[in-house]
Amino acid sequence: MKKIFTLILGFATLISSHFAKADEGMWIPALLTDNYAEMQRLGLKMTPEQIYSINNNSMKDAIVRLGRGFCTGEIISNKGLILTNHHCGYSAIQKLSTTTANHLKNGFWAKSHKEELSAGFSVSFLVKIIDITDEILADVTDENRAEKIAEHSSAIKKEHSNDGAYDVDIKEMFSGNRYFAYVYETFGDVRLVGTPPESIGKYGGDTDNWMWPRHTGDFSMFRVYADKDNKATKEFSEDNVPYTPKHHLPVSLKGVEKGDFAMIWGIPGSTDRYLSSYGVKNATDIDQPARVKIRRSKLDIYEKYQNKDEAVDLMYSAKHAQVANYWKYFMGQTRGLKRLDIQGKKKGEEDAFVKWVNKGDASRKSTYGGVIGMYQDAYKVYDEKVLAQTYWMEAIYGIEFTKYGFGFSRLHDLYKAHGSEKDSEKKAKLKEQIDAALKRLEASTEGNFKDYYKPIDQEVAAAMIAFYANDIPANLRPADFNAMLAKCKGSATEMANNIFENSILVDKDKAMEFFAKPSAKKLKKDLGVKFSSIMLNYYLGDILSMFADADAKRATADRLYKAALFQMHPDKAYAPNANSSMRFSYGQVLDYSPGDAMMYKHFTTMKGVMEKYQPGDHEFDLPANYLKTARDGDYGQYAKEGEDLRICFLSNNDITGGNSGSPVINGNGELIGLAFDGNWEAMSGDIAFEPELQRTISVDIRYVLWCIDKLAGAKHIVDEMTLAR
């Protein structure tokens, strides 16, 4: 039956009333005024126009999205100086490091603009946010929903792109009940200005990750460049000059105290606060334990080789950090969800929803009566088959040569099509595509092998193939994979050895030899290419279709369930899930109690750094000049008289991945810190926010300035900031 989505359109007005005060919330900047009164009560002194305006310069113009949203940064000088986390700049710093100029290990500080190094990523400034709900959902029906939304999205992107000068992201909120267009201007020339040594920027390592008390100097500095007319450029150019921003954040030397207002802006990546009880059970019982097991195995292999060789350690430092971060995250989230009985709480909410539906009229029952059944049907499929997807993503995609091989898989398909094509015109077109694919792959090869160590990848491959073969039923694996494994008598190690013996995917010289004389025959014989092709085609052809019906049912159930919540609780404030779009959160600097008879202060000091110091320990060692300067108590203007230097502090702001590097801003619009982590006791926060437990961990801006000035001797960088005393 054709059904126009007037029901959902009708919720647009209702939903807007829910953008108001709540204990949690990553809020949409364009709707700032809905939260303004509560923000004022907590200590905000700025006007809404000073914070977010599309017509005048405002605080939003100082916030930058790194890449497509992997982290956040902020502009802190009128010369385009960017501050972000050390772990956000980690990959760029690692790529710029060598064993003789190891910026990751030793730190780096440019003495002039000429010494700044091209970072290899872009940054984007938010231009404006537009509520496009009515335009997106115009004429949408059950049958044409995906097609119409795609059509309308394309038109809106074209309308607001300013002839290609802007990037336009269409963001779905509340599972399709509301839509916004985020318009960004992207600058492609970003350069490394400075970074502390890893011993400071990653102090505490994996042991302290997600933990409080914390003493990590998690910061790095970059600069955005523009052309001589201050316009964005797509890439590095010697002719570019430091960008003059519309706004930069003043940097506060006043410090923070318990109860102070704290606001955070950034690009939070993903939350799932409305996840059903069925989804929570699937995550804690099936999906997340598998991710933890697989990642721990990879980390063990990385560390085995990293501990033997400094060059290998440098090559795999960023890869290790990426795997380790979410290895610990998934452990903590599973623990938190079970400890707080989030599945039970979600079930209680769903039972209340069912009662509400059953008490309603025929229209309510018709609209919402099937929601729980849709969840049950969807999660029956997920529970039975989700590990096929999880192991593909974590194990198969976790093998380095496999990712490189996906491009060769596409090339192999083009060769096959070219060989069988009879039409000369089509054959010529395929030849053009083959040549273009070869050019792209050859161009990527240097970067692929820069930080590649064959023994690690070979051992990882054997371990990952073994996991996949042992834990995933044969009927949920590619038939061709099963055949390859059978030829090796079921031995994952033998399969890996056979691939690594001759494949062009694991040897740079062999890859370059192939590009010198490319042929379809070589690709067909290559076991690495064959393996990559099998796995990629299975994902695109089988795994995606395996969950298509379940995904559709869950999406519909999510959309209807959220729409119902707004009717059930008209006075309750709801924030949309994070989805890599610009958001803000607000709260206060606060301490917390992690457990019975325990109380954590809201800040840490240099005393704690020195208490954790362990000479020779890779997580808790410190440079000699750091130890001397700290022991001398030379804190200058960065500590109040009679006080120890403060390192990190806590606030009850709502953040998640992507917020790393976000500015923590006081009521006057001044920078007081840099968000970089959450606390272990509230690792369930992406699914269930716990206001009494959830805290954001930030590095105090005064510690950042002390590191730059007193340790690095780079006071010229501090001098270009606007300091608020």
Q: What are phi and psi of 700, to 5 degrees?
A: -65, 130
- Quote the CA–CA distance of 697 and 677 in Å, as a whole number: 5
Q: Are 255 and 700 in contact (CB under 8 A)?
A: yes
Q: Which of 18, 61, 86, 87 is catalytic?
A: 87
Q: Are 321 and 302 in contact (CB under 8 A)?
A: no
Task: Let me know if 113 is a catalytic residue.
Answer: no
Beta-bridge mates of residue 700: 673
Closest CA to 453 of 297, 294, 298, 311: 311
CA angle 338, 341, 344 (to 5 degrees): 130
Give buried/exposed letters for 578-591 (b at 16+ CB in 10 A, else e).
Answer: bbbbbbbbbbbbbe
Q: What are phi and psi of 430, to 5 degrees?
A: -65, -35
- Residues listed for the chain: 725
Task: Let me know if 87 is a catalytic residue.
Answer: yes
Are β-strands 251-252 and 646-651 bridged in parallel, bridged antiparallel, or unpaired? unpaired
Distant-in-sequence, close-in-space partners of 309: CB < 8 Å, separation ≥ 6 = none
Q: Which of 169, 208, 218, 260 is catalytic?
A: 218
CA angle 717, 718, 723 (to 5 degrees): 145
Q: Which of 660, 662, 684, 698 is catalytic?
A: 660
Residue identified by tokens 């990653």 is 202
Residue identified by tokens 């050859």 is 442
Give buried/exposed letters for 165-196 (b at 16+ CB in 10 A, else e).
Answer: ebbbbbbbbbbbbbbbbbbbebbbbbbbbbbb
For 33-140, strand residue ranges (E) read 63-66, 71-75, 81-84, 108-109, 117-118, 123-131
Q: What are phi and psi of 181, to 5 degrees?
A: -105, 125
Residue identified by tokens 């030793």 is 106
Residues recognised as catalytic: 87, 218, 660
